């Protein structure tokens, strides 16, 4: 019989219970004992839901107290030396020190998990001697078995992928070092497998996502690891799990020594199915087929999925076939049951994690001959109602996009002419600014909550926002920052805010997903054709500009970032949706310029995040991203300065696209990656202005003046002083006020000291 499976379940909790537990622990509102007890209860409740839903193969040990890659690193004793030496399992305090930093130790680097909006902690393997400090996989396997009778499927990040996601000397592990470290690490995996086998585990899900991006030469490393593990624990079945793309070396990989392989049949551009049909599948192995989209929130077309299952069964025996989501459900919200305010047509078209598991179970029942006609009919009716609604069939939007694409989307003049026109801005050498947001204090959040509940009038809420903006404008002036921002206190999220203002978007009540650590985001939902109907940011930006003689930036989020950080309709190609959003934002940019705003920042932090994992698809993606950005930004005068911001990027391979955006100033995260982003500019000369973030905002740690000065000096070795801006690496919304002010004060002082060395007096 065909079986149902899941790869992983969201951690946050239906109403972010997990997030609040972490933050209450950090703020000492609860102790470790209460934290441990409550997170266990939440973890078991999540497992119980999957058990009740009828999932046959339930993942265990997919839970984390912060991040699963960090869990793997600390379990193997791979802790950077600056946090101390450890010979036994890390305490929670030590664990969180690695993730968040301390007064004396910079936090471990954090970067995006493949091409998702989830961030993982990058293991640093310099001087590491691997040792098994914690078999967490055994702990969680035993817990599920004892508490719920679940014979779970432990989820372990595979040894090759773990190493390839790690760094030594600020470089990702590759080549001979990868082979060397693998031999050092494998005995620990052997011990884990031995202990799981002794406990009765029948299947282990070994996540090797790097198999979708591997070079053929590296396949021997995966083979070696699997041979060692099979020899050590032959009684345990190993499922090698991949996701997010297809296998380039399909035949070689599915013949590796493992009992099963998990393949993504959603985000593979149809290539895994083509390979399966062309080459078949080993008769004795399990195919765990990811057939329901684990990264988006739309209801599946179950009729189309049944067709896919039929195609799979032509090559794979029923007893060897598992049906599952395309990837861990970490990337979607938990349930639509708590969405009470959505338009019913939209809500009925949605499927969060629990609904996706229900789809998997329904498809599994259908494959095994059960009568699921009623479920199929109800699902199809909901999809048809959404697709045929006026939301997705707006001729005015289609005509407007066609018109803008027929016109040139270029600035009036090339950058060398624009930079001359922008001298009217009277900016100093090494100008200072911030990325846009300032701390959203408890007071800001409480006022927003009261306003939303109707306990605070709109007028009183706006007056509070104005007062907060005025206060932070004064703080920025006192700190002597050159280009100011209004602080974005009216915005809960840089994408959600625009989703609340543009037609064709909606927002959820509890559609939270984990971004990093306790940080949850609630992506807006692009459900229909997108249209600008009225100014969004103009009032608050103009108000801020009226309070100061210094320049204030207008702040927008660009189309591709909105796409990458939203749940986007799946009935229309993403690049076409991006064009609609780009045009809507063009109206906003022009409204800001018409209102007298001279600097407008159109943020694109997720540009690289959406870059396809396969190089063959990247040129089209980047061309479409540049097109959407320029639709937004090219209608302004030469003297209007366009900024953009990007973060968590390896920039070498997209610098041509960054330049093609034709923004006058870009700011880029570089501090947490220890300045390695600068390397991209050593190879390629960048001809516009740039700010490489000079300190990390993702940690509460306040950097010293000397540390920031070193970062500036390092950047000025490769970037001309007349091109360089001084700024933090990202927005400051999640930071506390005292640490924010202290860090910015040090940033300005570091700039001043660099200017003094350069002999600049003003």
Quote the pLDDT of residue 226. Answer: 98
Run of H or E including 291: strand 286-292
Same domain? 471 vs 362: no
Task: Locate all alpha helices (DSSP H) within 333-441, ordered by sequence.
Answer: 344-347, 353-367, 373-387, 395-406, 415-421
* 554 DSSP assignment: E
Residue 736 DSSP one-character state = -
**pLDDT at residue 104 tops 50:** yes
Q: What is the pLDDT of residues 715-758, one digit of tens each?
A: 899 899 999 999 998 888 989 999 999 999 999 999 999 999 99
Annotated binding residue 202 = no
Q: Is 674 annotated as a binding residue?
A: no
Cα–Cα distance between 704 and 21 in angstroms, integer? 31
Question: 408 in a domain, yes or no?
Answer: no
Residue 112 in marked binding region: yes
For 630-679, the pLDDT digits (tens) are 999 999 999 999 999 987 556 677 888 999 999 999 998 765 554 566 77
In a domain, residue 404? The reply is: no
Question: Is 230 one of the annotated binding-site residues?
Answer: no
The count of structural domains within the chain is: 2
In a domain, 375, yes or no: yes
684 Cα distance to chain centroid? 27
Residues 6+ apart with CB under 8 A from 452: none
* Structure confidence at residue 636 (pLDDT): 97
The C-alpha atoms of residue 736 and residue 742 are separated, in whole angstroms, by: 10
CA distances from 496 to 507, 524, 604 (A): 7, 5, 15
pLDDT of 11:
96
Distance, in Å, from the CA atom of 492 to the CA atom of 166, rounded to the nearest integer, reads 33
Of the residues 387, 409, 435, which one is the last residue of a structural domain? 387
Candidates 224, 230, 698, 722; catalytic one: 698
113 annotated as belonging to a binding site for a ligand: no
CA count, 13 A, side-chain hemisphere, 671: 26
d(CA 612, CA 630): 21
For the question of residue 722 being annotated catalytic, the response is: no
Q: Note the Cα 612 to chain centre separation in Å.
A: 14
Q: Tell me whether residue 730 is annotated as binding.
A: yes
Contact of 433 with 748, CB cutoff 8 Å? no
Average pLDDT of the chain to the nearest whole number:
94
Burial class (CB in 10 A: 0-12, 13-18, 19+), 698: buried
- If asked whether residues 444 and 496 sit together in one domain, one would say yes
Q: Roughly what angle, to the nearest 10 degrees, separates helices 574-594 and 618-633? A: 20
Phi then psi dihedrals of residue 121, to 5 deg = -85, 125
608 CB-near residues (< 8 Å, 6+ apart) = 646, 648, 649, 650, 651, 654
Together in a domain, 331 and 425: no
Residue 667 has what DSSP assignment? E
Is 671 one of the annotated binding-site residues?
no
Q: Are residues 548 and 695 in the same domain?
A: yes
Q: Which pLDDT tens digit goes with each residue over 354-398?
A: 999 999 999 999 999 999 999 999 999 999 999 999 889 888 998
**Owning domain of residue 739:** 417-758
For residue 428, pLDDT over 70 is answered with yes
With CA atoms as reference, report the closest residue to 569 among 292, 383, 328, 343.
Answer: 383
| pLDDT tens-digit series, residues 746-762 | 999 999 999 999 987 65
Nearest to 4 by CA among 476, 370, 511: 370
Neighbouring C-beta atoms of residue 315, cutoff 10 Å: 17
pLDDT top residue among 265 and 405: 265
**Residue 118 to residue 133: CA distance in whole angstroms:** 26
State yes or no: 82 annotated in a binding site: no
17 marked among binding-site residues? yes
Q: CA 117, CA 446: separation in Å to the nearest integer?
A: 27
Same domain, 64 and 198: yes
CA distance 274 to 272: 5
Does residue 502 form part of some domain?
yes
- Residues 533-585 pLDDT 10s: 999 999 999 999 999 999 999 999 999 999 999 999 999 999 999 999 999 99
- If you average pLDDT over residues 248-266, what whole number do you get? 98
Contact 211, 268 (CB under 8 A): no
**Pair 426, 373 in one domain:** no
Token pair recorded at residue 318: 């029923």
- Beta carbons within 8 Å of 453's beta carbon, 6+ residues apart: none
What pLDDT does residue 674 have? Answer: 46
Q: Are strands 689-692 and 665-668 parallel, antiparallel or unpaired?
A: parallel
Task: Determine whether the annotation assigns residue 487 to a binding site.
Answer: no
The CA distance from 90 to 133, in Å, is 8
HEC string of 587-619?
Answer: HHHHHHHHCCCCEEEEECCCCCCCCCCCHHHHH
149 and 64 together in one domain: yes
- Greater model confidence, 304 or 112: 304
Asked if residue 101 belongs to a known ligand binding site, the reply is no
Question: Binding site annotation covers 436?
Answer: yes
Closest CA relative to residue 714, chosen from 745, 657, 754 = 754
Q: How does pLDDT run across 196-213, given as a tens digit for each residue?
A: 999 999 999 999 999 999
Residue 735 forms part of a structural domain: yes
What tokens were used for 12?
A: 């946050």
> Domain check: are 66 and 189 in the same one?
yes
CATH number at residue 522: 3.20.20.210
Helix (H) or strand (E) holding 621, with range, is helix 618-633
496 a known binding residue? no
- Determine, yes or no, domain membership for 319: yes
Q: Please give the radius of gyration of the chain, using alpha carbons only, rounded to the nearest integer.
A: 26
Q: Are strands 525-531 and 513-516 parallel, antiparallel or unpaired?
A: unpaired
Lowest-confidence pick of 473-482, 625-634, 670-679, 685-694 = 670-679
565 is in an annotated binding site: yes
Helix axes 442-453, 458-479, angle to 10 degrees: 160
13 within domain boundaries: yes
Residue 475 near residue 740 (C-beta atoms within 8 A): no
- pTM value is 0.88
270 and 363 in a single domain? The answer is: yes
Decide if 308 contacts 321 (C-beta within 8 A): no
Q: Please indicate, yes or no, whether residues 333 and 458 belong to a single structural domain of this protein.
A: no
pLDDT score for 605: 86
Domain boundary among 366, 387, 408: 387
Residue 645, annotated as binding a ligand: yes
For the stretch 479-510, pLDDT in tens is 999 999 999 999 988 888 998 999 999 999 99
Q: How far apart are CA 161 and CA 240, in angstroms?
A: 11
Inside any domain, residue 463: yes
Together in a domain, 181 and 315: yes
3-state secondary structure string, 184-198?
Answer: HHHHHHHHHHHHHHH
Please check the confidence at residue 699 and state whether its pLDDT lies above 70. Answer: yes
For the stretch 585-615, pLDDT in tens is 999 999 999 999 999 999 998 888 888 999 9
Angle value at C-alpha 579, between 577 and 580, nearest 5 degrees: 65
Q: In this structure, are 426 and 374 located in the same domain?
A: no
């Amino acid at each position: 019989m065909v079986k149902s499976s899941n790869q992983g379940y969201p951690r946050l909790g239906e109403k972010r219970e997990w997030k609040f537990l972490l933050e209450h622990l950090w703020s000492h509102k609860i102790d470790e004992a209460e934290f441990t007890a409550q997170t266990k209860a939440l973890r078991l409740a999540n497992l119980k839901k999957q058990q009740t839903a009828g999932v046959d193969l339930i993942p265990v040990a997919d839970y984390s107290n912060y991040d699963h890659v960090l869990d793997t690193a600390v379990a193997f004793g791979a802790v950077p030396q600056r946090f101390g030496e450890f010979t036994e399992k890390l305490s929670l305090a030590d664990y969180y020190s690695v993730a968040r930093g301390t007064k004396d130790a910079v936090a471990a680097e954090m970067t995006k998990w493949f091409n998702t909006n989830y961030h993982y902690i990058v293991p640093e393997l310099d001087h590491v001697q691997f040792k098994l400090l914690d078999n967490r996989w055994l702990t969680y396997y035993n817990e599920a078995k004892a508490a719920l009778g679940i014979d779970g499927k432990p989820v372990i990040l595979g040894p090759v992928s773990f190493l390839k996601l790690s760094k030594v000397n600020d470089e990702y592990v590759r080549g001979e070092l990868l082979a060397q470290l693998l031999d050092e690490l494998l005995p620990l995996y052997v011990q884990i497998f031995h202990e799981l086998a002794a406990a009765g585990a029948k299947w282990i899900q070994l996540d090797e996502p790097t198999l979708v991006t591997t070079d053929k030469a590296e396949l021997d490393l995966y083979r070696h690891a699997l041979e060692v593990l099979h020899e050590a624990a032959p009684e345990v079945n190993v499922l090698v799990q991949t996701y997010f793309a297809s296998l380039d070396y399909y035949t070689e990989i599915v013949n590796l020594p493992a009992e099963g392989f998990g393949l993504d049949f959603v985000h593979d551009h149809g290539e895994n199915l083509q390979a399966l049909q062309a080459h078949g599948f080993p008769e004795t192995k399990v195919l765990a087929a990811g057939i329901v989209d684990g990264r988006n929130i739309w209801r599946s077309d179950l009729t189309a999925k049944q067709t896919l299952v039929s195609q799979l069964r032509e090559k794979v025996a029923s007893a060897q076939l598992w049906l599952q989501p395309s990837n861990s459900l970490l990337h979607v919200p938990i349930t639509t049951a708590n969405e009470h305010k959505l338009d019913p047509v939209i809500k009925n078209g949605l499927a969060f994690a629990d609904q996706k598991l229900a789809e998997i179970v329904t498809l599994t029942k259908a494959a095994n001959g059960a009568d699921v006609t009623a479920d199929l009919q109800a699902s199809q009716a909901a999809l048809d109602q959404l697709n045929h609604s006026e939301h997705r069939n707006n001729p005015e939007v289609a005509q407007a996009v066609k018109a803008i694409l027929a016109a040139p989307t270029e600035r009036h003049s090339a950058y060398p002419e624009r930079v001359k026109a922008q001298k009217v801005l009277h900016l100093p050498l090494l100008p200072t600014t911030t990325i846009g947001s300032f701390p959203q204090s408890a007071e800001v959040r409480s006022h927003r909550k009261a306003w939303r509940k109707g306990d605070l009038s709109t007028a009183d809420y706006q007056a509070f926002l104005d007062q907060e903006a005025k206060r932070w404008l004064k703080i920025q002036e006192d700190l002597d920052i050159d280009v100011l921002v209004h602080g974005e206190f009216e915005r809960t999220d840089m994408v959600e805010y625009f989703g609340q203002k543009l037609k064709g978007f909606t927002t959820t009540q509890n559609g939270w997903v984990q971004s990093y650590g306790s940080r949850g985001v609630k992506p807006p939902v692009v459900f229909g054709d997108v249209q600008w109907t009225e100014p969004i940011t103009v009032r608050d930006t103009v108000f801020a500009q009226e309070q100061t003689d210094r320049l204030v930036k207008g702040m927008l989020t660009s189309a591709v970032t909105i796409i990458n950080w939203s749940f986007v309709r799946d009935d229309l190609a993403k690049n076409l949706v991006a064009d609609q959003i780009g045009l809507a934002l063009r109206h906003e940019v022009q409204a800001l310029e018409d209102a007298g705003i001279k600097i407008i920042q159109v943020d694109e932090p997720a540009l690289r995040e959406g870059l396809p994992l396969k190089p063959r698809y990247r040129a089209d993606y980047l061309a479409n991203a540049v097109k959407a950005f320029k639709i937004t930004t090219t209608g302004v005068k030469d003297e209007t300065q366009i900024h953009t911001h990007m973060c968590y990027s390896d920039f070498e391979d997209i610098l041509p696209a960054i330049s093609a955006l034709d923004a006058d100033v870009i700011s880029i995260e570089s501090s947490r990656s220890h300045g390695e982003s600068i390397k991209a500019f050593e190879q390629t000369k960048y001809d516009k202005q740039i700010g490489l973030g000079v300190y990390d905002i993702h940690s509460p740690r306040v950097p010293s003046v000397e540390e920031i000065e070193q970062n500036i000096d390092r950047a000025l070795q490769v970037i001309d002083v007349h091109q360089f801006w001084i700024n933090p690496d990202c927005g400051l919304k999640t930071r506390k006020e005292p640490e924010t002010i202290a860090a910015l004060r040090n940033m300005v002082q570091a700039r001043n000291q660099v200017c003094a060395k350069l002999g600049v007096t003003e």
